[in-house]
């Protein structure tokens, strides 16, 4: 089973790239996207990652720009990772680029912006990237790194261009022989002087800097081994710490939006060609580009039993400026033109199926529900983050005038909720993800898990059609219409049959084309008055 998460961006025009949550992490450990590059020296261009591949930050070695990529295939998402000691946020329209870039791109009318959805990324030890002090957070443990060399000319740092390659090669092979960080700092400064990266005055200054820090009682961080944030090659692991992700973001500009529109129109043309095929062949519409994705193992998905876990992992990416998230199964048809309240949970059917159903008698039913209660009340009774979710669950039940206590609600065989399409606003994502992490650990089936979740939150329902009962799955082409929010299932496996393909093209795909491309008279009148 494949689960797709659609992200709805927020609209703002502040210069600082902000998000629903703070872009800075103040915890010792946090969820993080990280880059796990395997060859070195490993160079990372932050501007490329945030959507502008032709741009580079000041300090990036110009000699290595040609054919450089950030190796997007090396990205991984870690559930628990040590937070970076130095964290920088980008600033729109205030770019820290070098004089070469400014000469090549001197057009003041350039409206290129960084992608504001792209999440923060943590660079592991051995990865090199330029940064400056603007909009930058230094944790207490990194205070000693605020030293600035005094022999460098900041007006025109020519050494930056002449020596950066040699400096990177040296750093990538250097190992400190001291047990303490303070000794490593002085040793590195002396090595820099020997190689003419720094002057003697810089070495004397940093010795005094270290001495002054010790006098005022500054506690230098201890040296630690490199943290192993590798992706397991074992595809059967359930709840692995780090998993493979693929993320590639483009910048927002008039030109890029036009290009995206043209790609979508071409995609519709490919679908039209597919519909026009006289006989069934291997001809399916070509894939324009791969999707961004988070990898879940087969054990984690268990043929869809724990599909909710996908959005819990999306939360860990800490995407910026996102209004909310639509989640849909691969065999769901989603009529996205039927809008939702972006501040409210949307679940088409709600918690309306109150009979126990077959799932409650399986290990992922009642047994898992009891396990969920044990996790809240026993295993994690002293865990502040888990108990915060438990308190919010209880509070949500009270707000909805639930007479049962939370413990009873969790284990009561009170029904199930189909969950092939739903919407979660960003304001509720932390709670949703925290609750689903516990459900996942307990092994609770997703349609039961959703019933328990919906008991605790306000939500809106929508028109839907599940192809059960009279006619069953074979009646999809008769029952589909544009006013439904969703229909389930319409499976791709149906369309190896030419008759079924024609039905899809004449109903679903024609409706999508009409909604996307047809301008009504009222729309034309409204546009003419703007």
Could you tell me which residue, 464 or 358, shows the higher pLDDT? Answer: 464
Mean pLDDT of 318-333: 92
- Taking the alpha carbons at both ends of the chain, their separation in whole angstroms is 45
- 1 or 227, greater pLDDT: 227
Mean pLDDT of 261-277: 70
- pLDDT band, very low/low/confident/very high, at 15 (cuts 50, 70, 90): very low
CA 221 centroid distance within chain: 30
Average the pLDDT over 56-77 and give the result.
82
Query: Which residues are registered as beta bridge partners of 243?
Result: 77
Is the predicted pLDDT of residue 529 greater than 50, yes or no? no
What pLDDT score does 68 carry?
83
Q: Does residue 251 contact residue 113 with C-beta atoms inside 8 Å? A: yes
At residue 279, the pLDDT reads 40
Closest CA to 484 of 420, 425, 429: 420
What's the token pair of residue 510? 């024609």
Would you say residue 31 has pLDDT above 70? yes
Percent of the chain exceeding pLDDT 70 equals 81
> How would residue 214 be classed by pLDDT, with cut points 50, 70 and 90?
very high
Stretch 185-200: mean pLDDT: 95
Burial of 306 (0-12, 13-18, 19+ CB in 10 A): buried
Residue 269 has pLDDT above 90, yes or no: no
Maximum CA extent, the chain? 86
Region 4-13 average pLDDT: 52
Q: Where are the domains of the chain?
A: 5-13+26-216, 292-462
Greatest mean pLDDT among 120-129, 380-389, 519-528: 380-389
Confidence of residue 70 (pLDDT cuts 50, 70, 90): confident
Q: pLDDT band at residue 344, thresholds of 50, 70 and 90?
A: very high
Q: How many CA atoms does the CB half-sphere of 9 hold within 13 Å?
A: 12
The structure tokens listed for 437 are 């992490």
If we measure between CA atoms, which residue out of 81, 496, 482, 141 comes closest to residue 284? 496
- pLDDT higher than threshold 80 for residue 29: yes
CA distances from 6 to 313, 316, 337, 340, 353 (A): 14, 16, 14, 14, 26
Rounded to an integer, the average pLDDT of 356-383 is 94
Let me know if 279 is exposed, middle or buried by CB neighbors in 10 A (0-12, 13-18, 19+). exposed
pLDDT score for 211: 97
127, 37 Cβ separation under 8 angstroms: yes
Q: Is the pLDDT of residue 525 over 60?
A: no
Q: What is the pLDDT of residue 203?
A: 96
| Highest mean pLDDT, choosing among 136-145, 435-444, 484-493 | 435-444
Average pLDDT over residues 310-315: 95
Most confident residue range from 221-225, 268-272, 442-446: 442-446
- Mean pLDDT in residue range 301-305: 90
Q: What is the pLDDT of residues 101-138, one digit of tens each?
A: 877 776 666 566 788 888 999 988 888 998 888 888 99
Q: Say what the pLDDT of residue 160 is.
A: 66
Residue 165 in this model has a pLDDT that exceeds 80: yes
Asked if residue 353 has pLDDT above 90, the reply is: no
The two three-digit tokens of residue 3, written as one number: 């689960």
Cβ neighbours for 99, distance < 8 A, ≥ 6 positions apart: 156
Helix (H, G, I), strand (E, B) or coil at 529: helix
The pLDDT mean for the chain works out to 84
Q: Report the relative pairing of strands 322-329 and 333-334 from DSSP bridges.
A: unpaired
Residue 296: which H helix or E strand, with range?
none
Residue 16, SS3?
Answer: strand
For every residue of 232-259, DSSP letters joined together read PS-TT-SS-SEEEEE---PPP-HHHHHH
CA distances 501 to 290, 372, 379, Å, are 24, 44, 52
- Res 240 pLDDT > 70: yes
Model confidence band, residue 230 (pLDDT cutoffs 50, 70, 90):
confident
Q: Could you give the CA distance from residue 33 to residue 75 in angstroms, rounded to a whole number?
A: 7
- pTM greater than 0.85: no
Q: Tell me the mean pLDDT in the region 305-311.
A: 95
Q: Which of 440, 457, 429, 462 is nearest to 307 (CA)?
A: 440
Q: Which residues contact 501 (CB under 8 A, 6 or more apart)?
A: 275, 277, 280, 495
Mean pLDDT over 65-75 rounds to 78
């Amino acid at each position: 089973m494949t689960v797709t998460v659609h992200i709805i961006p927020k609209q703002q025009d502040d210069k600082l790239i902000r998000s629903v949550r703070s872009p800075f992490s103040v915890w010792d450990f946090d969820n993080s996207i990280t880059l796990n590059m395997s060859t070195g020296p490993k160079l990372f261009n932050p501007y490329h990652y945030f959507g502008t591949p032709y741009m580079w930050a000041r300090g990036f070695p110009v000699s290595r720009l040609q054919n450089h990529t950030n190796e997007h295939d090396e990205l991984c998402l870690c559930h628990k990772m040590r937070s970076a000691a130095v964290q920088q946020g980008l600033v729109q329209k205030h770019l820290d680029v070098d004089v070469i870039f400014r000469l090549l791109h001197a057009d003041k009318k350039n409206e290129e912006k960084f992608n504001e959805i792209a999440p923060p990324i943590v660079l592991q030890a051995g990865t090199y990237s330029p940064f400056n002090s603007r909009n930058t957070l230094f944790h207490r443990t990194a205070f000693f790194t605020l030293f600035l060399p005094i022999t460098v000319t900041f007006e025109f740092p020519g050494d930056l261009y002449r020596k950066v390659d040699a400096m990177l090669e040296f750093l990538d092979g250097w190992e400190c022989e001291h047990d303490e960080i303070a000794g490593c700092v002085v040793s590195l400064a002396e090595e820099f002087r020997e190689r003419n990266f720094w002057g003697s005055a810089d070495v004397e200054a940093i010795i005094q800097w270290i001495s002054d820090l010790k006098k005022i009682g500054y506690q230098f961080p201890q040296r630690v081994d490199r943290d192993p944030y590798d992706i397991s090659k074992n595809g059967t692991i359930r709840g692995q710490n780090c998993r493979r992700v693929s993320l590639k973001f483009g910048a927002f500009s008039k030109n890029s939006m036009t290009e995206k529109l043209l790609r979508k129109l071409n995609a519709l043309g490919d679908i039209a060609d597919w519909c026009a095929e006289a006989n069934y062949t291997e001809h399916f519409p070509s894939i324009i580009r791969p999707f961004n994705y988070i990898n879940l193992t087969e054990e984690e998905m268990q043929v869809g039993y724990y599909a909710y876990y996908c959005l819990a992992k999306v939360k860990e990416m800490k995407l910026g400026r996102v209004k909310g998230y639509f989640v849909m199964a691969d065999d769901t048809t989603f009529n996205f033109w039927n809008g939702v309240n972006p501040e409210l949970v949307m679940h088409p059917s709600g918690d309306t199926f109150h009979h126990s159903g077959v799932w409650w008698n399986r290990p992922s039913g009642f047994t898992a529900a009891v396990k969920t209660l044990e996790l809240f009340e026993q295993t994690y009774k002293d865990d502040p983050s888990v108990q915060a979710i438990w308190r919010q669950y209880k509070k949500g039940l009270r707000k909805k005038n639930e007479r049962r206590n939370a413990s009873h609600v969790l284990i009561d065989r009170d029904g199930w909720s189909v969950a092939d399409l739903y919407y979660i606003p960003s304001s509720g994502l932390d709670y949703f993800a925290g609750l689903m992490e516990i459900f996942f650990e307990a092994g609770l089936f997703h349609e039961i898990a959703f019933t328990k979740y919906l008991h605790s939150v306000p939500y809106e329902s929508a028109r839907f059609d599940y192809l059960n009962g009279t006619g069953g799955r074979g009646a999809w082409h008769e029952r589909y219409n544009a006013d439904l929010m969703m229909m389930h299932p319409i499976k791709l496996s149906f369309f190896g049959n030419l008759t079924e393909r024609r039905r899809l093209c004449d109903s679903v795909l024609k409706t999508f084309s009409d909604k996307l491309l047809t301008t009504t008279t009222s729309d034309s009148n409204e546009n003419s008055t703007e």
